[in-house]
Structure 1
């Protein structure tokens, strides 16, 4: 039973389901719309609701930020596998225009990103890449620009 649950949790569809019922995401109205089977792509969105709007009637900035918070870390953890340590190190967000209606963000892990990570961490050194994420409205106009810096290191080889 536990093995079956663990397998479900580590699949892309299982993780997407868990994230969609995760308390902070429910409270913010965030929905994971797509998570690729190979963990190389994700799409999230958030509708403007009474519980995620701010005093002036637009998307609350904290909800916009939480919408994009863990995704590069989650995608890279699952893509690189257990031989790597992946943590969020820092983040910043620039609010470009008020968010109204449905906003969304798209995340991609490219071959070039993976090659750079493997190259920079091959000798066991830490690597602190920064990836930019755009939050856009239904018309594709930029609402916010965020930068996520990750801590990535290859785990030392285990001696048996």
Structure 2
């Protein structure tokens, strides 16, 4: 079996990715991931430059918290859980260890109908992470996302701390 060599990402400031690691492929894979597929969560968009992600969750009778007839809290959090790390990975490339070290969610009102979150990780934020980890030091950054319903009502706020460290060459 031959090894697939990394190819340069389109943006020269970005890391290198293996063939097939495109936002489109990630979106498709997330949408067939069983907890998302059967839970009603859909990744609607991942920006081509990995700077934003939009995720929807349609609350239906088979995927809701029946006593409240509203969204499951865990499903609301799952809408945000992997995406700041995925955006960092997409922009930084394979030369980094990236994971969430903390996560929390604040529930404000019951989520009904379709709830949506749009998360962003700007190139400037990633440049700061890249600079902070250049010498091998770790970077811990805070990120948050708001989940809103179809009327724009704030349903929940999720927060995470993202750990990034450059891997030794």
Scaled by the length of structure 1, what TM-score is found?
A: 0.90
Partner of 1:18: 29
Matching residue within 86, 91, 95 for 2:98: 86
Matching residue within 60, 67, 76 for 2:88: 76
Aligned: 1:36 with 2:76: no
Compare 111-120 and 76-85 and name the one that shifted more. Answer: 111-120
For structure 1, list consecutive stretches of 5 or more residues without a partner in the other structure: none
Matches of 1:61 and 1:53, distance apart in 2: 9
**Alpha-carbon offset, residue 65 of structure 1:** 0.8
* Poorly superposed stretches of 4+, deviation over 6 Å: none
Matches of 2:164 and 2:62, distance apart in 1: 35
Matches of 1:135 and 1:89, distance apart in 2: 21
Matches of 1:52 and 1:125, distance apart in 2: 42
For structure 2, list consecutive stretches of 5 or more residues without a partner in the other structure: 5-17
Partner of 1:120: 132
Matching residue within 139, 145, 157 for 2:157: 145
Aligned: 1:136 with 2:148: yes
Matches of 1:136 and 1:64, distance apart in 2: 10
Scaled by the length of structure 2, what TM-score is found?
A: 0.85
- What's the secondary structure of 1:128's corresponding residue? strand
Structure showing the higher strand proportion among its residues: 2
**Alpha-carbon offset, residue 12 of structure 1:** 1.1
Matches of 2:38 and 2:160, distance apart in 1: 22
User: Aligned-residue CA RMSD in angstroms?
Assistant: 1.5
Contact 2:107 2:156 in 1 (8 A): yes
Matches within 5 A, 1:101-112: 101-112=113-124
- Deviation track 1:37-58 (CA, whole Å, cap 9, x = no partner) reads 2211110001111122112101
Contact 1:52 1:63 in 2 (8 A): no
Matching residue within 60, 68, 80 for 1:49: 60
- What's the secondary structure of 2:88's corresponding residue? helix
